[in-house]
Structures are given as structure tokens and as C-alpha cells.
Amino acid sequence: MSAEFSDAPAPRALSSVFYVYDVVREGDELVYYGEPLVDQRTLHQTAWPLFDERGYEVSIESRPGETVLVAEPARESGAAFPWTNVALAVLTVLTTLYAGTQWYHVDPLSLDVVRALPFVAAVMGVLGVHEFGHYLMSRYHDVDASLPYFIPIPFTPIGTLGAVIKMKGVMPDRKALFDIGVAGPVAGLVATIVVSAVGLLLPPISVPAAPAGTVSIAFGNPPLLRGIAWLLGQPLAYGDGLAVSPVVFGGWVGMFVTFLNLLPVGQLDGGHVMRAVFGPSYERVAPLVPGALFGLAGYVYFALDAPNGATVWLMWGVITSVFVFVGTAHPANEEPLDRKRLVVAGVTLLLGLLCFMPVPIRIVG
């Protein structure tokens, strides 16, 4: 073994799970050729901490006729300026600003465009706080994660498809998987509640009368939003050419995103939480989620006569089917969660249910 890799685990350290017959340096990687003595999951769970404590990332690869362990020095994240993240965030500000002008009924090419800035702050705030919750907890557990990538989508009601972060490397244990998975929804819910309350306390806006025969979109109100409005003594709807501040819709977005992310399947936050709570056995239950969403779509279509609402759940039935196929994270250490985390899981999932609405979108007119 070369001096550059002298601090890497010696082959004998792997003898209980992997018979090593050769170690070769290939560029920046150290490749252990050998024969696995256990199943791949056990091999990874045993090898990962040996490499991690020495500052290496390790993966298992299948090559023609053999299995290899590939180790490379862990890279420091965040060294380069995140130009892509910044550029996407700026573009998303512009697309949400344009969407906001439609809610405030102002000319997007006039100085009145500044009236839509509270809408931009509300939408990007709830989405950004959600993703930064994941990011900060990833850094806490030394899991390599990117800054949030916002997704600008022009000419839509909110101007964005949300935001995501990318994580690389191995999830060390179920505690880290849980903490990272639950941090986004918890942080996002706090931001959502604040944004909703602020929006409800803002004065209503004037809206022009819609021409006869105009098709409009109506959004359902989840129990959490109705509860906040009740506590504040504020209406969720006005008459006589008035409407609630569009900032409230920013809160609605946060609630809908929270519910979708807490669907207990695959790489969604809910999938991470449930996998951390129940361990590998949950992977046998996750395939039931798409079927439940297809059933919900049928109920909304036939019983509630809301084809557009049914389309939302039909689409998410397809999306979660893909997540089931891809699978969930596999932490290196399967030690069960402590009681405190189990309580947090229960409370978070309950709050997620308060964000559910059978018919999130309905076409009116």
C-alpha cells in the first residue's frame, strides 16, 4: 500500500466480511479486490465505519467476475462558490415575482411589481427554510450535502417547482437518517405557520371582477390553515372585490409541500422518517403508498366530483411508484431510534396530516 494511502484500513481489518487478495491504487482511489464473505448490506455496514474513521468514503462495486471495495479520501464540501445554486435562486426570484404580479393583479413591467415582493419572500421562504433544515442537519451529522437548488418554473401559480438538496456518501445510522429527514418538514412547518399568520393579518387586496365565463382555480384549505385563521380571528375569504393577501397562499404552498414530502415512501422525507423508525422491515410496507394514492384519486373523482383534484393524486401515485422502485436510504448502522425521536416522528406525521386536503385544486367556471 502506497504511503499516500498508508492510513487506509489494512486488508486484515476486513477479514471477517471480505477476503482481500489484492489492493491496487487507481488514480485517487484505492481498490480492494476480493471475495465477500457476507451479504452486501452486512459488508457495507461493517466496512463503512472502518473507512469513515480514517477519512475515507467506501463503496461496493461489481466488476466482471468479482466484487471490489472502492475507497477514496473524503472530499471537503463547500469549497467552491455555489454559482449554480445562486443562479437558480435568482431565476426563481424572477419567476415567483412574475407569478406574484398575477396574484396582486399588477403589470409585471411596471414599478408596481414591487407589491409582489411579499409573495416572493413567502414562497421562497417556506421552501428555502425546509431545504436548509435538511442541509444544516446533514452538516451536523457530517453527511455531504449541497446547498438548496431552487427550481424556477415560469407561468405557473407560484413560479417554482420547489427546491432540493443533493446528498452524497453513506448515511451513517438511523439517527442521522431520521434527523436529516425530519428536519426539513419541521423547519418548513415553523416557517409555514409564521408566513400564514402574517398573511392573514395583512390587509386584503382588491381584485378585479372576472368576466363572465372566466375559468378560475380554487384551492382547498387544509385544517392547519383553517386552525390558524380561527386562532387569529381572521377570514380566509372576502367578498365585494376583496381577497386575502397572496402571502397566505405562500403558507398554503408550505403546507401542501409538507404533506407531499411526508408521504412515507422512498427518498421523500416521510420515507426517510419511516425507514429510520421501523428499520428494514418498512421497505415491505412502502409499496402500499402508491395504491393508497390511486385509491384516493378514485374517491376524489367519483365521490367528490373533482377531476382536477383526482389528477393531482393520480400523478403522485405514479411518482411514488417510481420512488418505491428506486428504494430508500440504507444506513450503515441499524441501531433503533430513542424514545425522544419516536415522539418527534409521531408529532411531525400528525402535523403533516393537518396539511392534507382531499381536493387541493379545483377548476371553477
pLDDT tens-digit series, residues 111-135: 999 999 999 999 999 999 999 999 9
What pLDDT score was predicted for residue 41? 77
Q: Which of 134, 146, 138 is nearest to 188 (CA)?
A: 134
On the question of pLDDT at 2 being above 50, the answer is no
- Looking at domain 3-73, its CATH class is alpha beta
| Mean residue pLDDT across the chain | 91
Provide the residue type at 266 as one letter.
G
CA dihedral in degrees (349, 351, 354, 355; nearest 10)? -90
Only one residue has cell 415560469, namely: 154
Q: What average pLDDT does this structure show over 338-344? A: 97
Only one residue has cell 477479514, namely: 15
Question: Which pLDDT band, with edges at 50, 70 and 90, does 74 fall under?
Answer: confident
Q: Which of 224, 236, 151 is nearest to 189 (CA)?
A: 224
Per cent of the chain over pLDDT 70 is: 95
Report pLDDT digits (tens) over 163-188.
Answer: 999 887 778 899 999 999 999 999 99
What pLDDT score was predicted for residue 48? 85
Q: Which range has the top average pLDDT, 63-72, 233-242, 296-305?
A: 296-305
Report pLDDT digits (tens) over 257-314.
Answer: 999 999 999 999 999 999 999 999 998 999 999 999 999 999 999 999 999 899 999 9
On the question of pLDDT at 3 being above 50, the answer is no
On the question of pLDDT at 18 being above 80, the answer is yes
Rg of the chain over all Cα atoms, to the nearest angstrom: 24
Report pLDDT digits (tens) over 24-51.
Answer: 988 888 999 999 999 887 888 888 888 8
* More confident of the two residues 289 and 76: 289
Question: Which pLDDT band, with edges at 50, 70 and 90, does 79 fall under?
Answer: low
Question: Which pLDDT band, with edges at 50, 70 and 90, does 365 fall under?
Answer: low
Instruction: Give domain limits for the chain.
Output: 3-73, 83-262
Question: Which pLDDT band, with edges at 50, 70 and 90, does 76 fall under?
Answer: low
What pLDDT score was predicted for residue 42? 84
Q: How buried is 29 (Cβ within 10 angstroms: 0-12 exposed, 13-18 middle, 19+ buried)? A: middle
Interatomic CA distance for residues 342 and 277, integer angstroms: 7
| Minimum mean pLDDT range among 19-23, 43-47, 231-235, 348-352 | 43-47
